[in-house]
Amino acid sequence: MNKNIILFLLLSLSFNRLLAQQDSVQKTVQQRQLFFTDSVSSALFNFSKNSPLFIKELVPQRISRISIGQQLEQGKLANAQGSTKTNLTYLSSDGSINLSGLKLYGAFYYHKVFEDSTRFAHQSRNNTSTPYYYGSPTNNHYERSIYNFNTLATKDFLGNKISAGVGFDYHIADHFSNNDPRGSLKEYQLDSKISLGYNFTEKIKIGGGLNIGYGKEEVNIGYKNRAYFESTAYPRYVNYLINGYGEPDSKLTNRNYTNGFFRLGYNGMVKILNTNLGSFYFNINQVKEKQVYDYRTSSGIYDLSKYDLTKLNLDILWTKKLSKGTISTIVNFVNWDGADFNTRFLAKNYVYIKNEINLKIDYSKPGKKHLYNYTFSLNNFSEDRLDGITGNKIDYNNITFNGSFGFLSHLSHYKSIGINFGTHYILPLKDNFFVNNVTEKLFTQEVIIYDYLYNTSQRFGGSVAADYSFPFFKFMQASVKLNVVYTDKMNIKALDRNITSLPGNDRLFSNISLNLYF
């Protein structure tokens, strides 16, 4: 009898210990999932990717997550060279770990994209300001396979006085259309950051380094139907060469080119941590990119166009713990300044300028049973395109207001449910439109004028998102997320020109995903 009692006690203790270990594991993985439901934590986490020297403070010691999801975006309220329907399946994974003082963060993303009704854009969508590309009037169905690999690492040396950091971004993709004209685009891009920092004190740190990158795009246009090959008898299937921002020329032979990229620039950062006013992070990234478009044969390489593009990013983050929550404010400034060299006219023709100012404020208020998130953001966006040959000059300046409120409720047995409501409003501020009507043809009507009307339209919309989280296989936490965003066109400018097509009335975006945290 005594032996049975002792055996029962031993089994009970073992069972209770097992339950305690399981309970500890579930609590740990749930905390990793809840990290991404906090709007301030997510904002700081995303900001950390600007510099490898930021991940020590802004990325948790250990996170691991895998996401698989489906996105559907449809509606004719889009730019002229966009897709009226995009179906995207994605798989992503990222995580961080600390190995003997070496902080590592890595991420992998795979996107499989199906686009319908894409016009005048045999492009990778990774080089949006390009002055040189192919396009055709007919609706193309594009399929895209996109892979991205990202790594950030940092480590302290010499008694934590010196910090070294490196970052690598590798992008590789294959794009093709399965109807005539059949575009085929293959690309890769590799970017790296090398940074060195000096820690003056535990609170003040400064650093800087180099940004280096290179890449290539290979573009080819073919036809299955021989009737369209090297012929203008079927105007909708003619392949055009867009070189600048004016009317293009038909390109019936030698329909391929290579675009080589080389990037060189600098980065810098300042960290002021844990003061009475909070913590401050400053970051600057500048890159001068050179693009060379050429045609290659067995007899030689022939330059087609050259394009210089300078990219500047300035980022500021302030965050502070308050009595009942945490607040963060991020200010971001982006400037792109591009100009081409037209080898046909041996002069600069195309000029592109983009300026963007972003302000985003997040406030999160946690509690025992609930978490509340408040977000407000402003985005001021302007673009300016000039074509010297035609004299075309189009620019616009918009401001976008975003606001959202969300809450998450903790349920029993490590479950939670959350919902978020948002709204956005796009207000045109000013614009200029000068397009030479002497040279006006199809591209001017269906791309240049169309995009001007779209970019100067007033738009309003709303969003709703839901998230349900639960334990999964005892050592993981799972969440199912659903997000829907709707945008409606409120009004459009009146333009005294020949209008052949107008932007649609609305756009709907939806996303559903399964996310695993471990």
- Residue 8's pLDDT is 42
Tens digit of pLDDT for each residue in 240-279? Answer: 999 999 999 999 999 999 999 999 999 999 999 999 999 9
- Average pLDDT for 115-144: 95
The DSSP result for 183-209, as a single string, is EEEEEEEEEEEEEEEEESSSSEEEEEE
Give DSSP secondary structure letters for 400-421. EEEEEEEEEEE-STT-EEEEEE
Find the mean pLDDT for residues 400-427: 97
- Backbone φ and ψ of 325, nearest 5°: -175, -165
Q: Which is more confident, 473 or 55?
A: 55
Q: Judge whether residue 14 has pLDDT over 70.
A: no
Whether residue 53 is predicted with pLDDT greater than 60 in this model: the reply is yes
- Whether residue 510 has pLDDT greater than 50: yes
**Who contacts 438 (Cβ-Cβ below 8 Å, separation ≥6)?**
none
Q: What is the largest CA-CA distance in the chain?
A: 106
Q: What is the mean pLDDT of residues 394-418?
A: 96
> Residue 24 pLDDT more than 80?
no
Q: Quickly list DSSP for 13-65.
A: HHHHHHHHHHHHHHHHHHHHHHHTTSHHHHHHHHHGGG-GGGHHHHS-S-EEE
Say yes or no to pLDDT of 377 above 80.
Answer: yes
pLDDT at 452 over 60: yes
Mean pLDDT along residues 396-424: 97
Instruction: Note the pTM of the prediction, 2 decimals.
Output: 0.92
pLDDT in tens, 213-244: 999 999 999 999 988 988 889 999 999 999 99
